[in-house]
Chain A
Amino acid sequence: MTAGRPFRRLLVANRGEIAVRIIRACRELGIESIAVHSEADVDALHVRLADRSVLIGAASPAASYLSIDRIVAAAREAGADAVHPGYGFLSENAAFARAVEAAGIVFVGPPPAAIEALGDKLAARRAVAGAGVPLVPGLTVPLDDDVAIDPAQLGFPIMLKAAAGGGGRGMRRVNEAGELAAALAVARREAQTAFGDATVYAERLISPARHVEIQLLGDQHGHLVCLGERDCSVQRRNQKLVEESPSPAVTPQLRAAMFDCARRVAGTVAFHSAATVEFLLDVAGDHYFLEMNTRLQVEHGVTELVTGLDLVAWQIRIAAGEPLPDDLTDRTPSGHAIEVRLYAEDPWDGFRPVAGNVSAFRMPDGPGVRVDAGVEAGTRLPVDYDPLLAKLLVHAADRPAAIARLRRALDETLIGGVQTDAGFLRWLVDDDAFASGDYDTGLIAERWRDGPAADPAQLAIAGAVALAARIDAPASVAGAAPIAAGVRPWTDAARREGLSR
Chain B
Amino acid sequence: MSDLEARIGGELVAPDGWRVDWVDRTAGLARVSDVTTSRLVLVEGSGTSWVVTVAGRRIAVIVESWRERTLAAADVTASAGGGPLDVKASLPGLVVSIAVATGSTVTAGEALLTIEAMKMQNEVRAPRDGIVGEVVVAAGSAVATGQLLLRLD
**Chain A interface residues toward B at CB < 8 A:** 169, 186, 189-190, 193-194, 237, 348, 352-355, 359-360, 362, 383-387, 410-417, 419-426, 454, 458-474, 477-480, 490-491, 493-495, 497-501
CA–CA, A238 and B4, complex, Å: 46
B15 neighbours in A (Cβ, 8 Å)? 460-461, 463-464, 467, 498-499
From B72-80, B100-108, B119-127, B130-138, the one touching the partner chain is B119-127
B17 contact from A237, A360, A501, Cβ within 8 A: A501
Minimal Cβ-Cβ distance residue in A for B24: A360
A478 neighbours in B (Cβ, 8 Å)? 46-47
A355 neighbours in B (Cβ, 8 Å)? 91-92, 117-118, 145
A9 nearest CB across to chain B (Å): 31
B19 neighbours in A (Cβ, 8 Å)? 499-501
B48 neighbours in A (Cβ, 8 Å)? 470, 479-480
B122 neighbours in A (Cβ, 8 Å)? 352-353
Known: A352-B122, A466-B50. A497 touches B1 (CB 8 A): yes
CA–CA, A461 and B61, complex, Å: 11
| Complex contact B59–A468 (CB within 8 A) | no
| Complex contact B57–A458 (CB within 8 A) | yes
Most buried by A among B4, B43, B47, B96: B43
B50 neighbours in A (Cβ, 8 Å)? 465-466, 469-470
A416 contact from B25, B53, B55, B92, Cβ within 8 A: B53
CA–CA, A264 and B7, complex, Å: 61
A309 nearest CB across to chain B (Å): 31
A348 neighbours in B (Cβ, 8 Å)? 57
Contacts between chains A and B (CB distance < 8 A), count: 188
Minimal Cβ-Cβ distance residue in B for A193: B119
Proximity bits, B20-61, A CB within 8 Å = 1, else 0: 101001111110100000011111111110101111111101
Known: A462-B59, A499-B15. A189 touches B96 (CB 8 A): yes
A190 neighbours in B (Cβ, 8 Å)? 119-121
**Please, could you name 30 A-B residue pairs with CB atoms under 8 Å apart, sorted by A?**
A169-B119, A352-B90, A353-B91, A360-B27, A360-B42, A362-B29, A383-B118, A416-B28, A421-B56, A422-B56, A424-B56, A426-B55, A458-B57, A460-B16, A462-B8, A463-B15, A466-B61, A469-B45, A470-B63, A471-B2, A474-B26, A478-B46, A479-B47, A480-B68, A490-B1, A495-B20, A497-B1, A500-B19, A500-B20, A501-B17
CA–CA, A459 and B50, complex, Å: 13
| Complex contact A359–B4 (CB within 8 A) | no
A387 neighbours in B (Cβ, 8 Å)? 118
| Complex contact B18–A414 (CB within 8 A) | no
CA–CA, A421 and B57, complex, Å: 8
CA–CA, A454 and B57, complex, Å: 8
| Complex contact B25–A472 (CB within 8 A) | yes
| Complex contact B116–A480 (CB within 8 A) | no
| Complex contact A417–B52 (CB within 8 A) | no
B111 nearest CB across to chain A (Å): 11
A501 nearest CB across to chain B (Å): 6
B20 contact from A354, A425, A465, A474, Cβ within 8 A: A465
| Complex contact A469–B118 (CB within 8 A) | no
Most buried by A among B42, B119, B121: B119
Known: A410-B56, A424-B56, A463-B13. A470 touches B120 (CB 8 A): no
| Complex contact B53–A414 (CB within 8 A) | yes
CA–CA, A140 and B50, complex, Å: 54
| Complex contact A490–B2 (CB within 8 A) | yes
| Complex contact A460–B59 (CB within 8 A) | no
Instruction: Tell whether B148 is near chain A: CB-to-CB under 8 Å.
Output: no
| Complex contact B42–A414 (CB within 8 A) | yes
CA–CA, A161 and B88, complex, Å: 32
A383 neighbours in B (Cβ, 8 Å)? 91-93, 117-118
A474 neighbours in B (Cβ, 8 Å)? 25-26
B118 contact from A386, A415, A461, A463, Cβ within 8 A: A386
A498 nearest CB across to chain B (Å): 7
Known: A355-B91, A383-B92, A490-B1. A462 touches B20 (CB 8 A): no
| Complex contact A354–B46 (CB within 8 A) | no
Minimal Cβ-Cβ distance residue in B for A473: B46
A235 nearest CB across to chain B (Å): 14
B145 neighbours in A (Cβ, 8 Å)? 355
| Complex contact A465–B2 (CB within 8 A) | no
CA–CA, A285 and B90, complex, Å: 43
A169 neighbours in B (Cβ, 8 Å)? 119
Instruction: Tell whether B6 is near chain A: CB-to-CB under 8 Å.
Output: yes
For the complex of A and B, the 9 pairs showing the least CB-CB separation, nearest first, are A423-B56, A463-B13, A422-B56, A464-B15, A479-B47, A463-B6, A466-B61, A462-B52, A466-B50
| Complex contact B58–A419 (CB within 8 A) | yes
Known: A353-B91, A359-B44, A414-B29. A466 touches B52 (CB 8 A): yes
B76 nearest CB across to chain A (Å): 19
CA–CA, A464 and B20, complex, Å: 7
B13 neighbours in A (Cβ, 8 Å)? 459-460, 462-463
| Extra contacts besides A416-B53, A467-B6 (18): CB < 8 Å | A190-B120, A237-B120, A354-B90, A383-B92, A383-B118, A385-B118, A426-B56, A458-B54, A458-B59, A459-B59, A462-B59, A462-B61, A465-B32, A466-B63, A469-B63, A473-B46, A478-B47, A479-B47
